[in-house]
Chain A
Amino acid sequence: MDQLSDVLTAISHPVRRAIIGQLANGPARFLDVAEPHDMALNAVTKHLKLLERAGLIERERRGREVMISFRAEPLKQVAGWVHEYERFWNERLDEFEQHFRKMKKEKRAR
């Protein structure tokens, strides 16, 4: 798979997004990453492997401990994947559509 697919896969699971959220506060040890999640340690390891494959985390050995840190760079691919005008017009038209839906509801209520 290409890296964009790896990144999208990585952020498609709530546990992995929560891990990114934890690591955005700064690097952490494996057990600290695993601690808030009510799951087996090898399940956490699987999630970390997917994040690592996407390049979103890095492991670094510091003495006896392995520190896991977050790398935001690959997320830029996701941001650049949607053209700015695609986002702009989608936002505008969502609001426009919503306006008419609301007007229709109000008309019915009268």
Chain B
Amino acid sequence: MNLLSIADLTVSFDTEAGTVRAVKGVSLTLAAGEILALCGESGSGKSVTAMSVPRLLPDGATLTGSVTLDGAELLGRPDRELRSLRGKEISVVFQEPMTSLNPSFTVGFQITEVLRRHERMSRRAARTRAVELLDLVGIPDAARRLGEYPHQLSGGLRQRVMIAIAVACDPRVLIADEPTTALDVTIQAGVLDVFRALRDRLGTAIVLITHDLGVVADIADRVAVMYAGRIVEQAGVDELFARPRHPYTRGLLDALPASARGGRLREIPGMVPPPYDDPDACPFAPRCGYADDACTAARPVLEPHGDGHLAACFHPSTVEAVDA
């Protein structure tokens, strides 16, 4: 049974320049204890897709489709009900550790606030739990840190505090939006260890939004690659890295320093198409070396390619051939 299930989700925004469709029919599932990576360039819709779950979207977003948590539909629920889920069932860790804590209150206050809100804990119980949480995310000398203000902590420690707040109420789903991007490489590894520990200990399902394929390879069980508001490829992490079926995924892998093997890094030519036009063609065709008439005549849909591997491409075998 899937814990989280997104089906045919579309998200559009009304802007002065017209309606922008940021997500155009995305379907995803997530089991308890699973870590799913959502990859893609800026503007591919990966953040919007993930933030549709706790509905942390800008005003003016219109959602269609279905988002269910444990079989219960979330779309169309009033904000008040979603609020009681946020921070409890569904938590979010943001990208900016330096500015995501309230500078006016101590770390301890901010952790206990969530516990008192969602778990109705007493002040003392919340404090005890806060110390446990800081231990859990690997902050030494936790009891002393509770009395400190965010400006007294380093970026890595702040990120850990944010994770502690996010997991304070044992959420079933944790959405981490580029959680390691702003951190030093050494601290990145520590933060990923914290995520792994959470998954192992609490069975938390994690959606990891990232464009860092190194992080993906390190921690994810499954990967969904997004392009121009759609998922273009989805597979288990080993399968995807070994046999990418979509040329875009292939391009992302080639852009990794490790894959260059002394040669020049290959970038993907061209730009992400603007979100306004959505022609009935493969959105990646203008940037794709394998594109032919078929690619501009119709839009490929996700098709299975063996063991849970999905790709939306008319020439999936061609891509594999290049790899050989």
Q: Do A and B come from one complex?
A: no
Q: Interface residues, chain A, CB within 8 Å of chain B?
A: none
Q: Interface residues, chain B, CB within 8 Å of chain A?
A: none
